[in-house]
Homo-oligomer: A and B are copies of this chain.
Amino acid sequence: MPTGNNSLIVKLSCPNQPGIVHAITGALLKVDANISESQQFDSPNTGTFFMRVQFTTDANVADTEAAIADVVEEFDMDASVYDANAKTRTLIMVSKDGRTMNELLFQQHAGTLPVEVPVIVSNHLDLQPMAYFYDVPFVHIPINKKPDGTSNKAEAEARLMELVDQYDIELVVLARYMQILSDDLIQKLDGKAINIHHSFLPSFKGARPYHQAHDRGVKLIGATAHYVTADLDEGPIIEQRVQRVNHALTAQDFVQRGRAVEGATLAQAVQWHTEHRVLLDGDRTVIFE
C-alpha cells in the first residue's frame, strides 16, 4: 500500500453534474494521492454535490491546491484543502460554568480533539484558574452597563475581534457563553462559530431551557450544537444528544445532569468541524462521519 508523508483533506461542494468525482480524483492523481477515506452526497434539497476526501501524498497543501485548480474552476467548486494533522486554532468563550470548557481543554490536552486553544475569553473571572491550569491565556472582557445607560458591548466585541485576528483564530466556540452576540459580529464569524444550546432544539429556545423542559414534564433532556447565525438558536444543527430524566428530578437537577450531555455534544461537534467533516447545505448540515 503506497503512502505519502502528508495526510491531506479536500472538502468541496458544487452544483451537481456527472463527472465530478472522476475529475477531482483525476486531479488528485497528479499528486499521487492515495485515498484512505472518502464520502460524497448529492443533496436533493439544493441540487448541491458534497465531497470530502482524505488521502496520503508527498505533496503539500499548496501543491494540491494547484493540482485541483482547473477542476475547481470547471465545476464551479467551493473547495478547500487541509492538512489532516494541523490543529484548528480555537478561541473558547465562557461565562461561569466550566463543564463544557473543561471537556474541550481536557480533550485538547489528551490529544483526542484536534484543536489548539491559544486564548480563552470570558465576561467573568470564575474560570481563570482552570484556563491557567491548562496553560491557556485568559482574557477577561466584562460586559457592563455604563453610567449613561448604554453598555460596553460594542467595545467588548471589538476587543474580541482583535483577539481573533491576533491569534489567527479559525474557530470560535461558545462554551456556555451567556451573552448574545451582535449581528455584525455573527456576520464576521459566519461558519466559524459554534454554540451549545442546552435544549433539544427547536424545543425550548431562549432562556432557562431546563426550567422550561421541567415545566413541560419531558422525559428526555438534550443539547444542541449549532453554527451561530443572526437568528438566535436557529443556526444549522451539527449535533444533538439526549439524556433520560424522570419525575423525581428538579429543574436544578436537570441543569446538573444536562451538563455532561452538553459537554459531549459540543465536543463531538467541534471534532467533526475540526476534522472538516461538516458542510453546509442551506440551513442544514451534511456530516461525513
B37 touches A38 (CB 8 A): no
A208 touches B (CB below 8 Å)? no
A145 touches B (CB below 8 Å)? no
CB distance from A23 to the nearest CB of B (A): 9
A236 touches B256 (CB 8 A): no
Collect the chain B residues with CB atoms within 8 Å of residue A47's CB. Answer: 1
A18 touches B (CB below 8 Å)? yes
This chain: copies in complex: 4
Query: Contact string, A252-283, partner B, CB cutoff 8 A, digits 1/0?
Result: 00001001100010010000000000000101
Range of interface residues on A (Cβ < 8 Å): 35 or more
Greatest chain B CB density within 10 A among A29, A130, A260, A264 is at A260
**Which A positions have Cβ atoms within 8 angstroms of B?**
1-2, 15-22, 25-26, 28-29, 32-44, 47, 49, 98-99, 102, 106, 110, 112, 129-130, 133, 200-204, 215-220, 222, 236-242, 246-248, 250, 256, 259-260, 264, 267, 281, 283-287, 289
